[in-house]
Amino acid sequence: MEQDAAHVVVEDIERALSEVSGIKAARVVVSPEGTILEVHVLALPTKSPKQIVRDVESTVMAGFGIPVDHRKISIAQLGAEAMPKEEEPAEGGRARIHAVDESVSGVHASARVTIELEEELYVGEASGPASETGRRRIIAEAALEAVQHYAHGALTFGLEDVSVVQLGRERVAVACVTLVTPMGEQAFSGSALVRQNEKDSIVRATLDAINRRLHLLTSA
């Protein structure tokens, strides 16, 4: 059910937006009734403003169930000189999809995701109920397991949620992933437009949540 910002803490929305790839900071302005009036975003020059607007819409809708009119989102984009070193492609590389396989047997489904990292292939597998939501989750969980194999157990990821939402004329896969460490938890979100293959888009959204942190996390 859709809700307004009166039911959540505005700081939680801002914190979730600041975790989106390419967004440095976010400020949400709401009315006394809890309606979102304005969303101000400070962004790196890694994505187009149109893509950032879509990321804001999908993150707020998927994470809090609140629709945001794109006309209320303003983007201030920094110049290339503002790019921090960790946002640049580094020797850790980015995870790329090699294959996504899914099978369904009765009420049971399983997924096998193969990703490529540093010219090596890593395979993750997951299984669960064959519901529409369950099948999306196991695909994302298989992708995370493949990344964990690359990290040789140094990372522990938890899938908070994954969904496919309708934003205007586009369908968007969105994922929220939590990194669990002895120091605590840190949540990341990612998104990917759904083209012809929803399964690939779910994997891409899951990897988008962690790709830019992967080298830093594994080299710590």
Radius of gyration of the chain (CA): 17
Show Cβ contacts of residue 134 under 8 Å, excluding neighbours closer than 6 positions.
109, 128
Instruction: Specify the CATH class of 5-85 in words.
Output: alpha beta
Half-sphere exposure (Cβ direction) of 71: Cα atoms closer than 13 Å: 0
Task: List 101's β-bridge partners, or say none.
Answer: 112
The predicted pLDDT at position 78 comes to 77
User: In what side-by-side order are the strands of the sheet with 184-193?
Assistant: 156-167, 170-181, 184-193
The CA-atom distances, in angstroms, between 174 and each of 17, 52, 132 are 13, 13, 15
In this prediction, the residues of the chain whose per-residue pLDDT falls under 70 are 1-8, 79-93, 153, 212-220
Question: What tokens appear for 150 in the block?
Answer: 């690359």
Q: HEC states along 76-128?
A: EECCHHHCCHHHCCCCCCCCEEEEEEEEEECCEEEEEEEEEECCEEEEEEEEE
Q: Are 95 and 116 in contact (CB under 8 A)?
A: yes
Q: Which of 12, 23, 19 is nearest to 76 (CA)?
A: 23
Q: Which pTM does this prediction carry?
A: 0.57
CATH topology of domain 94-218: Double Stranded RNA Binding Domain (3.30.160)
DSSP state of 47: S
DSSP state of 43: E
Sequence ranges of the domains in the chain: 5-85, 94-218
The predicted pLDDT at position 187 comes to 87
Question: What tokens appear for 120 in the block?
Answer: 């090596």
Instruction: State the amino acid at position 209 in one-letter form.
Output: A
